[in-house]
Every structure is written in structure tokens, then in C-alpha cells.
Structure 1
Amino acid sequence: MKASLYLVLATLFWSGNFIVAQAAVASMTPMDLTFWRWALAAVPLLLLAHFVEKPDWRAVLRRWPVLLLLSVLGMSGYTLLLYGALGHTSAMNASLITAANPALIVVLAMVLTGERTTRLGWLGICLGLLGVLLVLTRGELQRVISLSLNIGELLMIGAIFVWGCYTIIARRLGLPAIAATAVQVAIAAVTLAPVALATNVRLPETPAEAWSLAYIVVFPSLGAYLLWNLALKTTPSGTAGNYLNLIVVFTAVITVAMGTPLTLVQIAGGVLVIAGVLLTGLRGQTKPPAIAAPGPASCTASNAQAPKA
């Protein structure tokens, strides 16, 4: 029961990131939000990892090349694309596109590692793709042919592609989840610093900006990761992964509560995406590749599945 509560709260915090960041990018740049998010979260995450997981830091740091690659993909790349997208599309649309991540990861795993999926898995992938297309085209599928898509939604597609690549690599990392995440966050803060200086990154100048950044640092960056990893101590990773579907639900609830109605197309797209994820993740489990890959995927689900929104 406690683990379930932790998972629900973690997904709620990640959902809030879509809403809060959409408001914040009206006056702050994606680089402002990305740099300060990781710069302010780095030390607290390192402390959390040290006291919760008690990792062998030398063993963790020996994997610095892959941690650097993961940081560029998952921390810098994904977050910049996400915040850039939220400047041009709604939080609801962004969360719906993000919900297609599990199906995309299955496809990338088939292409990159030789994994295979079942017929139900393919059906789930197709349903998820159809749901995303409905959201992207606002129900006018002919817009795909004319390429008249919103730049924000295209950036969001780029974000989930980057996250899919991150996930494929992170599945085989084999390091304590919070420690690996904390090191990646610290690397992101350091590597983004020169770019932040060159682009004159700034701290929040208004109370609204300060509260937005505070939420992003405390809840989706610190609280969600801690709760997610505490839950994984007693919850199978597959079960935990299904809770990620709540991100769309919570985003929809918050959006409606704030006075923005959902469209029929968004509702239909969301139903198709979630149905596709369930088919892909529950009954459409991937089969082993024809040639076994070296070593089992040993990292925890927080590295393998959590969206780091």
C-alpha cells in the first residue's frame, strides 16, 4: 500500500512538471529551466544517493563514459526538448505524446538489440501510434501528408526518441539507480554551464518564476526520484512501469481543474495511447532476441522506465 502511494505521488509530481513548465517557459528560456533544474538538484540528489543506496562511488565513477552519454541524452537533450516543446504546445498534448514512450522503446529495442514482440505487442504499438497521430493532427490525419504539424509537437517527438535511446542504454547500466541518476545530473550541470554562460542564463526574476523553478527542482527532480526508487524496493519494475500511465490522467485532471477543457480528439487519442501501452507492456511482452545479448539488463526500472519529466 505504501509503495503504491509512492508511485502515485511520483507520477503526480512528474505530471505537475508539464503544467508548471508550460507556464514558466512563457518568460524563461528552456536553457534557463534546464540548467537551474539540474544545477540546484545535483547536490541534494548526490546526498540522497549516498544515504539511501550507500553506493560504491569509485565503481560508479568508473562508468563515467556511459554516464556522460546518458547525461547528454536524458538530462540535457530530453529536458531541453521537453521545455522547448512546452513553449509551443499544450501540457496535455505533450503528456499524451510522452505516453507513447513505452511502445517507442519496444520498437527501438527491436531495431537496436534484436528483441522481438508478439502480435499483441504490434497491435499495441499501432494503437499508440494512431493515438499520437490523432493528437498531432487534431483529428485531421491528412495533416501528416502535408507536414503541417506544430513545432512543439515535433520537438516532443524528438524528446521521446531521445528518451527511448537513453532507456535502451540505461537498461544495461547495472548501477544503483539514484546514484547513477545523481551523477548524470551533476554531469549535466557541469557540461551545460559553458552554454548557460554563453547564452546569459538567468535566475528567476519574479515570484512566479521562482516558485515554478522551486517546484521543478523539489518535486519532479528530487521527490519523484526518491519516491519512485523507494517503491521499487518492494514493487516489480513491470508493475511500477504501468503507473506511468497516470501521468496522462493527472495532467488531464489538472488541465481541466485549471479551466482548460479537453477536446474529444485528445480524449480519443489518450484512450488509444494508454490501450496501446497496456497491450505492449502487459500482454505484448518482448521475446528474447534471436542471438542473446551479452549480460542481463540489470538496472532498475527508474533508469529503464521513469520519464524524468
Structure 2
Amino acid sequence: MIRSYLLLLFCVTCWGSNFVFGSILVNEFPPLLLAALRLTMTSLFLVAYAWSTKKLKYLNPRDYLLLIPLGFIGTLLNQAAFFTGLETVNATTASLILSLAPITIALLASVFLKEAITGRMIAGSIVAILGIFFVVGKSDGLNVSIGTVYILFAMLTFAVSIIMMRKLTERIDPFVATVYSTVIGSGMVIPVAVIKEPLNHVSPHLWAWVMLIATAIVMQGLCGLIWNMQLKRVGAGKASIFLNLQPFVAMIAGFVLLGTPVTAIQIFGSIFIVGGVVLATSRKRDKANAMKHPISAPKPASVPKSP
């Protein structure tokens, strides 16, 4: 289990750093077109690797009943809602809303995957979210607007896609599921991006293309593969807790790479984030709480079974 946690930590470290690299690349490429190009590079990397290792397999037609909605919800709707929301919502508010994803995933996992939500996970999540408020929050709170609704929708689609991927990997190898879902998702995003943001707006700088390709392969291809494999081993709810570390990593990466100042209150919040993740993922169990009295949602009367 420790190895799985370290691999999840590696993924979150890369994804947290990706905010910094993304802020650099968004000055060279239009946002939605940037997402489409990165997804294309990621798809090519995964397909090439699968082909060279002969791990690419034909799927049962019923598997596409999850793969196609996964690409539509987790990639097309998620990316469109996120970038549309950012047109009117600042990055700080968007980050705060997106930090609700781990709690949302845990709740959805308790309903659709029957994963128990222990008191330790709830306490750790609360502590981590409190830390996120210090790192990326503002004292004036959130102002509800149409942009806020879009960002909230982006958070929800991300949470739903995590649950769908976890369900899919119950009968499909995580690597195969990652390849197919990425290719299908990119195939949906590319036409929308090309129509909205023509290709003549791309950056002519070589360094920008190198950074785009490198981040696509490592942060979206490799990390996506590792994450989905570990998701099957530790569970969606517990794995999602690590996502709380992203603002902390982004803050450190911004300081090192861009010279963004770090305030004392941000450091204080980071301690809460790390403490919350440690609390929520600790293997120390109390028999009364972890075995006899897990907090889980009651089994719904008619939850549709996966195809």
C-alpha cells in the first residue's frame, strides 16, 4: 500500500506542477486548443506504447457503453466547462471550487461503488479543505455567477469520470481503459477546439512545442496511466484525497519556477493540507470505527448496474 501511495503522490506532484507549466503554455496557445493538442500528444504516446508492448486489446462492445460516456463527460464536457468558466471566474475561485472534488468523489464512491467512508477519511478531508482555503482562498468568499456554475460543473464531471473509470477497471485492464478513454476523449475535444480556436493561433516557438509534448506525455499520459492503475488498488475515495495536495505543489512550483511569493498563511494552510492527507490515508485502524461502524451510504433500491 505504501508503494501505491508514493505513486499517487508522484502523480499529484506532476499535476500540481502542471498548473505552472500550463500558465506558461496558455500564453503561447489558446486554452481549448492547448487542451486538444496535449490530448492528441498523449493519445499518440499511449497508442505507440500499447502497440510496441502488444498490450492493446480488442474490447467487448458493451465496454464502449462506459468508454464513450467517459470521454464525453470526463473530457469534452469537463474541458469545455472549465475553460468557459475561466472566462469570468478568476483562478483562485476556480481552484477553491475544484478542491471539492475529493469529497464529491468519496460520496459518489460510497453510493455507486459501495466504498465505506470512515470517520478518519471525513476528518482528514475537512482538515485538508481548510488548508486549501488558506492556500488558494480569499477572505471575501465566493461570488456565485454563471462562471461559478461552469466551474462547479467541471468539478462534478471530473468526479463522475473518476467513478466511471473505477467501474470500468473492474473488468478491463487499467492500461487498456486509459488508452481507449484518452483516445475517445481527445477525438471529441479536437473538433470543438479547431472550430472555436483555429490552428493559425498556435505558437511558432520551438520551446513551447517541446514543453507541450513533454508535459502531455509525462503529466497526462504516464501519470494518467499510473493513477488509474493505483485507483483499482486503493479505491476511488482514498486515492482522491491525494488531489488535495495539488494546490500545495502548485504553490511550491510557482515559487521555484516563476518566483511567485509564498506567504506565511499559505505555508500554514499547506501544513493543514499535508496533515489532512496523512490523516485520511493512515492505515492505523480502530476496530470499532473501521470494521464495525464504517460510515457508508445505504444501498439504493435501484442503482443501475454497469453494462
TM-score over 0.5 (shorter chain): yes
Name 2:186's counterpart in structure 1.
189
1:198-223 Cα offsets, whole Å, 9 max, x none, are 22432433335323422332221223
1:279-300 Cα offsets, whole Å, 9 max, x none, are 44446876554338999x99xx
Task: State how far apart, in whole Å, the 2-side matches of 1:149 and 1:197 are.
Answer: 28
Task: State how far apart, in whole Å, the 2-side matches of 1:228 and 1:114 are.
Answer: 20
Please tell me whether the aligned partners of residues 75 and 189 of structure 2 are also in contact (alpha carbons under 8 angstroms): no
1:290 aligns with 2:291: no
Task: State how far apart, in whole Å, the 2-side matches of 1:38 and 1:16 are.
Answer: 18
Matched to 1:209, the amino acid is A
Relative to structure 1, the CA distance from residue 105 to residue 271 in structure 2 (aligned partners, 3 Å threshold; closer, same or farther) is farther
1:20 aligns with 2:21: yes
Give the TM-score normalised by structure 1.
Answer: 0.71
Relative to structure 1, the CA distance from residue 130 to residue 250 in structure 2 (aligned partners, 3 Å threshold; closer, same or farther) is closer
Percent of aligned pairs with the same amino acid? 22
Task: State how far apart, in whole Å, the 2-side matches of 1:164 and 1:255 are.
Answer: 26
Task: State how far apart, in whole Å, the 2-side matches of 1:187 and 1:34 are.
Answer: 14
CA RMSD of aligned residues (A): 4.2
> Alpha-carbon deviation of 1:40?
2.3
1:10-33 Cα offsets, whole Å, 9 max, x none, are 333322321111122234222111
Relative to structure 1, the CA distance from residue 259 to residue 85 in structure 2 (aligned partners, 3 Å threshold; closer, same or farther) is farther
Name 1:68's counterpart in structure 2.
68
SS of the equivalent of 2:167 reads coil
Name 1:45's counterpart in structure 2.
46
Please tell me whether the aligned partners of residues 30 and 80 of structure 1 are also in contact (alpha carbons under 8 angstroms): no
- 1:24-35 equivalences in 2 (<5 Å): 24-35=25-36
Relative to structure 1, the CA distance from residue 64 to residue 33 in structure 2 (aligned partners, 3 Å threshold; closer, same or farther) is same
Relative to structure 1, the CA distance from residue 242 to residue 52 in structure 2 (aligned partners, 3 Å threshold; closer, same or farther) is farther
Name 1:305's counterpart in structure 2.
none
Please tell me whether the aligned partners of residues 242 and 278 of structure 1 are also in contact (alpha carbons under 8 angstroms): no
Matched to 1:166, the amino acid is S
Task: State how far apart, in whole Å, the 2-side matches of 1:32 and 1:278 are.
Answer: 37
Matched to 2:48, the amino acid is L
1:164 aligns with 2:172: no
Task: State how far apart, in whole Å, the 1-side matches of 2:241 and 2:29 are.
Answer: 33
Name 1:216's counterpart in structure 2.
215
Relative to structure 1, the CA distance from residue 123 to residue 113 in structure 2 (aligned partners, 3 Å threshold; closer, same or farther) is same
Matched to 1:167, the amino acid is I
259-268 vs 114-123, which moves further? 114-123
Please tell me whether the aligned partners of residues 128 and 272 of structure 2 are also in contact (alpha carbons under 8 angstroms): yes
- 1:70-85 equivalences in 2 (<5 Å): 70-81=70-81
> Alpha-carbon deviation of 1:178?
1.9
